[in-house]
Chains A and B, each alone.
Chain A
Amino acid sequence: MYVYLYDEFLKRKKYESTIKEIETRLTDFGIAGKILRLQKSINAHSTIEEEIAKGAKTIIMVGNDNTFGHVLSRGAVGKALFGFLPIGPENTIADVLGIPVGVEACEILSRRRKIPLDIGWVNNRYFVSQLHIPPHDISVSYDDMFSVSARYKKMELVVCNLQPFFWKNSKAGDYTVHPQDGKLEAFLRPMKKKHVFKEVYEEPSIFPFEEMVVTGKTPFVMVTDGKRSKEKKITIRLAKKRLEMIVGRKRRF
């Protein structure tokens, strides 16, 4: 049985025709199912658990990057096959998964090409695409083996999982970080100076890792899949092949 989790923003009138077209196409493919509308107050995890208990085998998220992050940050613990039906702007993860935005995504879902995905785990919740800590006085230790600090006190940290990160540098060549390579990639960028309009950064350092501990002398802001929180100490781990997902042939990994 298929369960479709519609994001709140899809209630808007401009998406009405797209939704109708998608629902018709899903019926044509014989993969139509139960529709649930997500709200900010609804806990995605308990909703997914409930539907799985009722017999749902495939959970499809309908929306954009925020929907994807919101559902999977808590819901990735459910033992079901996950799919994604991207609609509207802010859909970068769909491109990584090889899923076209809009009605064409129905065909990918009907083919059910499924692969296990590695996801990140930070302080009791999952993150799927990216974790970001804006410049702060932090210290980092990797895999219980080595620690990293910078001459300049403030450092910015980005941890990439599903979204690839491409760092273009004319002097040293180009670096591409790949999702789903069995490691998480951390980019550390010390802040050299802070002018009135612009912050000056040093070129980033890159560390692939499986476990990382970030500690701040004072609480620091952390943004995981678009969700902000304040933390003093975080442990980031890789949950290998935690999630089974329907992907397209043109995926980036």
Chain B
Amino acid sequence: MFQKNQDEETQQYANTTSPEDLETVVGPSMQVEGDFVSEGSIIVKGTVSGTVKTSKLLRAEEGSKIIANIKAADAVICGQVKGSVRVNQTIEISATAQILGDISCKSLTVQPGALISGKITMSGIEMQSASKPAKRRVAGSVKTKKDRSVGTRTQNEVDEES
């Protein structure tokens, strides 16, 4: 049992307890398949395929392989990811990371050396796009080109009548 190596790595009945410590850990040789959903933080050191969903932090360690669409509150990616990564808050991509898929997040940190292939979408951009039609202010009101042509035709009709 684990108690065999108690002095080295395990010790039961610890005095320090705090509910924040509880995490899901996928060890280096472990392979998880299916809808991997956790209420707490997830640490991935092995392989995960399917979907990954957590309302807290996802940490993919160096050497890990995730072939799945990811949804998390925050993420730290140090391993390989194949699939879309949707993060509500912050994503940190380390130098050893390789991501093949789209990323959406609020805040992004990428270390030099990281490899990303995909579209990055960040929420919170307020700039207007350049493809909208040009507008001209006329006598306190805004008129488009179409409005102006209509106005010219009306003036010609008035001349003919006179």
Q: Interface of A with B (CB < 8 Å)? A: 92, 95-96, 132, 134, 141, 145-152, 156, 158, 163-169, 172, 174-178, 181, 185, 187-190, 192, 199, 201-208, 252-253
Contact = CB atoms under 8 A, between A and B. Distances in A.
Interface string B1-34: 1101100011111101111011111111111111
A92 B13 CA distance: 8
Contacts, number: 119
- In the A-B complex, list the 3 residue pairs whose CB atoms are closest, starting with the nearest: A146-B34, A166-B14, A205-B27
Contact of A202 (B11, B16, B28, B33): B28
B49 to A, nearest CB: 10
A149 B14 contact: no
Nearest to A143: B37
Interface in B15-68: 16-19, 21-40, 43, 46, 50
Contact of A146 (B18, B19, B36, B46): B36
B23 A146 contact: no
Given A165-B2, A178-B21, A205-B26, 17 more contacts: A96-B13, A145-B34, A146-B32, A146-B34, A146-B36, A146-B37, A148-B26, A149-B31, A175-B22, A176-B14, A176-B16, A176-B22, A188-B27, A192-B29, A199-B4, A202-B27, A202-B29
Contact of B29 (A96, A152, A174, A199): A152
Given A164-B12, A164-B14, A202-B29, A208 B34 contact: no
Max chain A CB contacts within 10 Å: which of B24, B25, B46? B25
A205 B27 CA distance: 5
A151 B36 contact: no
A167 B12 CA distance: 8
Nearest to B46: A205
B24 A164 contact: no
A145 B21 contact: no
A190 B30 CA distance: 8
A174 to B, nearest CB: 7
Contacts of B26: 148, 205
A176 B2 CA distance: 14
Contacts of B14: 164, 166, 176
